[in-house]
Structure 1
Amino acid sequence: MKTGPQPGRTIVLSDRQRLAWLRLIRSENVGPATFRGLVNHCGSAEAAIEALPELSRKGGKTAIRICSLADAEAELEAHARAGARLVAMGEADYPPHLRHIDGPPPLISVRGNGSTLANPRALAIVGARNASLAGRKFAAQLAGELSQAGFTIVSGLARGIDAAAHEASMGFGTVAVFAGGVNVLYPPEHASLLERLLAAGGNAISEMPFGWSPRGRDFPRRNRIISGLSLAVIVVEAAKGSGSLHTARFALEQNREILAVPGSPLDPRCEGCNHLIRQGAQLITSTADILEAIGNRAAPDLPPELDLEEPSWEGPDGNLPEDSARARLIEALGPTPVGIDELIRDTRLSARAVHVMLLELELAGRLERHSGQRVSLTS
């Protein structure tokens, strides 16, 4: 039986392993959680790639697209030409807090040679794109003072609050998280800001494929990375239903602190912040308030990350579950999300069998994963 990861343990992928990891995460219906499940079940990314056709067939899909070796090599070469690199979860320069979130990206694209990603004292500052002048000035003040106090400032390089936070902190360390590929700038008018950010020792990162143009659904994925990198999320001006509130929701799920700047009830750009405060977020009006809320912590209070590249369940890996077990699991599933532990108890199947069958269904495009280790059948 596998023991847990040792504190401070790091891995170093060989070129062959990095290509296998890239091929696996770029294959059809393989997301971060599925990636980890496949590697833990099969023992390595290479073995998981070999198992994809049979696993997807068992889930009800006759063919699955597997990223070719040529495509993976081309993406690595494109990274190198752009001065970027792929960093694997568990490697020394993978962001320390990101590996603890639900479904951490196994590979991230990184631009910049600074040490900002390794700093455990990272804070996110997010807010309205159409921010007021006062909001932008206050975000810049917080970012500048916090970065001088030794914090890395994380944001999404968007207009408004994000840009103000990056601008004020770039001399001390800032990280911009992209919704598309790490070479696809959005908004495009921030090219100069990005160039200066990188030149000052900051980093730009993304979990998306190189060259990927961001879609609407990709921005929430980016927001979960912003909160996942950080000890706390600071919200400065946010309208009701804004992306900044999505970032705060991810922060809550990831057990990060949520700090909000109050605003006028007459300004719709402050409605989201005021709502967060009513819901229990800490009200902050100065850098001192933030420092008091964070204290001396250098890490969230979270469990250790799961290992990769070795099996995580007891018993031989060669035997797939019987069809009767699959029928029992599918009968227990439905469109309403349910916890995996609850499925195991209800079906009275082994944990290993349930995890394998969930992988089969997900590879076949029949399963959707939700926060809190919950799953549902797709409609």
Structure 2
Amino acid sequence: MINVIMPPANLDEKLDWLQLIRSQNVGPITFFKLLQHFGSAKAALIALPEKARKNGKSNPVFSRKKAEEEFTKIERFGAQLVALGEENYPPLLAHIDDAPPLLQVLGNDKFLKKRTVAIVGARNASANGQVLAKQLAQDLGQYGFLIASGLARGIDTSAHEGALGTGTIAAIAGGLDVTYPPENHSLQEAIKERGVLISEMPLGSKPQARHFPRRNRLVSGISRGVVVIEASLKSGSMITARLAQEQGRETMALPGSPQDPRSKGGNLLIKQGATLVESAEDIVETLERPFDRPSQKRTFSAPIGPLFEKEPKKKIALNADDARLSVKELLGPSAVYVDDLLRQCQLSPTDLNGILLEMELAGQIEWQPGNRVALIS
């Protein structure tokens, strides 16, 4: 049985989606698990308060009034609220594990259909690195690629500037009406007029440290490949490269001097198997390899109850408290595959899934890409 998550059929359903994704402890992965489990966002919103009460928590549901107010603000700002599965949702982004159910889009949404390559790198980039990023973006634009980046200082800024003439997309860590860094205000305005901006955060949201990894997954998720230019070993660009690998995207890097700390990240990626590139032609050749363009529909290959590979042959019946305790004891801060968790616990897939959803809504666990789950310290 294949379960397909269909986009909202009307404004009322889209507001249900907005209420659900804005509800407490509901992230993108949990959002789709709730849709799969309850059949619709409206049904999930009805069930959440009771599940919260079982865990001694207050009602986690985002109010309908606030959802309506947010939707009105988005429209007045001139942006669109696009749901996964709708025609103008970025097609590749729809198929990452933690794709945002709703995305705010500002600018020319026709660019979202273009082949996209991301260029990312150091905020404190060298002059040569910035010149190279700008030139690569210009050249790739001439080959018909949309250039994606995160509107940060340094390499991101240069890549966006180089692609303004052909098209660029910026993923924003905060709200679409907030500029970060402040000195990129004019660039953000130019992208709004000559490119496209995307964000999953509410208008008015100021970027926080925890928002940037989420922004980075958008940069890699909308792209067929990610090019790293100058990145230290512990940097946002390396996080983007790792996310690209997890998402099945091409990872490319420009080599640099081993004496420059800004080159260590890219050099390490090459050692680990990323494609060494030195020109736009190298990037185009890499990205022109056969690439299976997935369908826009979000599907699940398991029945609505179990979300696991197979039903166990026999499980021992446990009362609710003992079941929750047994699951919690098997979890830790390191993410574990849910199928492995199922094999080690004494629960059916349906019961385990229900307990994990309750723990997520109680803020005790977090879902991670690859159907993995970890205990929050």
**TM-score, with structure 1 as normaliser:** 0.90
Match status 1:3 vs 2:2: yes
After superposition, the Cα gap between the structure-2 partners of 1:297 and 1:189, relative to the gap in structure 1 and judged at 3 Å, is: farther
SS in 1 for 2:51: helix
Contact 1:116 1:173 (8 Å CA) reproduced: yes
> In structure 2, what is the equivalent of residue 317 of structure 1?
none
Give yes or no for the alignment of 1:312 onto 2:304.
yes
Give the match's secondary structure for 1:115.
helix
Report if aligned partners of 1:231, 1:300 keep a CA contact under 8 Å in 2.
no
Q: How many pairs are equivalent?
A: 366
Structure 2 CA distance for partners of 1:368 and 1:114, relative to 1, 3 Å = closer
The one-letter code matched in structure 1 to 2:305 is W
TM norm structure 2: 0.91
Q: 1:173 aligns with which of 161, 167, 170?
A: 167
Residue 318 of structure 1 corresponds to none
Q: For the Cα contact (< 8 Å) 2:85–2:296, is it kept in 1?
A: no
- Superposed CA offset, 1:258-300 (max 9, x none): 1000111222221211111112111101111111211254556
Q: In 2 relative to 1, CA 160–298 (structure 1 residues): closer, same or farther, beyond 3 Å? A: same
Q: Which segments of 5 or more consecutive residues in structure 2 lack a partner in the other structure?
A: 307-318
> CA-to-partner distance for each residue in 1:287-342, whole Å, 9 max, x for gaps?
1111121125455689973369x98337xxxxxx9444334323333334221011
Equivalent of residue 182 in structure 1, options 139, 162, 176: 176
Residues 26-41 of structure 1 mapped to structure 2, 5 A cutoff: 26-41=22-37
Which residue is equivalent to 1:282?
A: 275
Note the 1:229-248 alignment, pairs <5 A.
229-248=222-241
Give the distance between the partners of 1:145 and 1:116, measured in 2 at CA: 17
Tell me how far apart the structure 2 counterparts of residues 186 and 264 of structure 1 sit (CA, whole Å): 30
- For residues 215 and 89 of structure 1, what CA distance do their matches in structure 2 show? 25
Distance of aligned partners of 1:243 and 1:335 in 2 relative to their CA distance in 1, 3 Å threshold: closer
Identity fraction in percent = 49
Contact 1:11–1:92 (CA under 8 A) maintained in structure 2: no
After superposition, the Cα gap between the structure-2 partners of 1:49 and 1:325, relative to the gap in structure 1 and judged at 3 Å, is: same
Alignment of 1:31-180 (within 5 A): 31-58=27-54, 60-119=55-114, 121-180=115-174
What is the identity, as a one-letter code, of the residue corresponding to 2:371?
Q
1:141 offset after TM fit, Å? 1.4
Q: Which has the higher contact order (CA 8 A, sep 6+)?
A: 1
User: Alpha-carbon deviations, 1:353-378, whole Å to 9, x = none?
Assistant: 22221110110111122333221222
Matched letter for residue 70 of structure 1:
K
Aligned to 1:335: 333
Aligned partner of residue 259 in structure 1, secondary structure: strand
Q: Please give the root-mean-square deviation of Cα atoms over the aligned residues, in Å.
A: 2.4
- What is residue 209 of structure 1 aligned with on the other side? 202
Cα displacement (A) at 1:104: 0.9
CA distance in 2, matches of 1:301, 1:106: 17
Rounded Cα–Cα distance in structure 1 between residues aligned with 2:7 and 2:365: 31
1:142 Cα shift?
Answer: 1.1
Q: In the aligned structure 1, how far is the partner of 2:351 from the partner of 2:202?
A: 31
Is residue 2:12 matched to residue 1:16?
yes
Q: Partners in 2 of 1:367 and 1:64 — Cα distance?
A: 18
1:306 is paired with a residue whose SS is strand
| Paired AA for residue 59 in structure 2 | I
Match of 2:371 among 367, 370, 373: 373
Unpaired segments ≥5 residues, structure 1: 315-320
Amino acid at match of 1:48: A
Correspondence list, 1:268-279, <5 A: 268-279=261-272
Given the superposition, is the C-alpha separation of residues 254 and 289 from structure 1 closer, same or farther in structure 2, using an over 3 Å criterion? same
Distance 1:338 1:298, change over 3 A: closer
Q: Match for residue 326 of structure 1?
A: 324
Q: Match of 2:313?
A: none
